[in-house]
Chain A
Amino acid sequence: MIPLEAYLALAGLIFSIGLISILINRNLIVIFISLEVMLAGVNLALVALSHYMNDIRGQVLAIFSIAVAAGSVAVGLSLLVAYFNLEKNVDIEALSKLKEE
């Protein structure tokens, strides 16, 4: 029997890899991809806890999380396309249209 801590440590590690990538990258597309990696880590933790606590609610919550993630990524990517049509750039450090000059 594989211990619960192994799954949770794996989930935490995947989440942290995505988090570090979000913090240090400049490309908006890479940031969205690392967001997906973080969500995968969170869902893994939910399913692992659901299995070890003998409760199916964790899996139901993971389904909700996947559905909401799909919606939010759709909005984010369409914002990305709209921003690209405006600026021809996806660099977040050049993303300063709202800043007062």
Chain B
Amino acid sequence: MTKINQDVSDITSTLDDVVHQRTRLGILTVLHEANKVEFGYLQEALGLTGGNLSQHLSVLEKSGLIRIEKGYEGRRARTWVSNTRAGTKALRAEVTALKALVARIEF
């Protein structure tokens, strides 16, 4: 194995499967930019169906990376999603690893 492949392999071994997925990385990114994000906004911003988004949110919630709160705004049911500290940490680690990968390839 060449040195560059070894370096890349070292970095990718630090990536978390739960976060290293385009949609879930997108969810954590959106959540990082606001205190709480409504389910409908996430769905629209990421271009997902309700069922698809729910599945990804479920995976992230089980991993303790996000928090989901259900409630009412007047008569309308609302679901608010927010990052946990672990979620913020995981997002930072993922972006740092991705940048490191790009840097390795670009020297």
A binds B: no
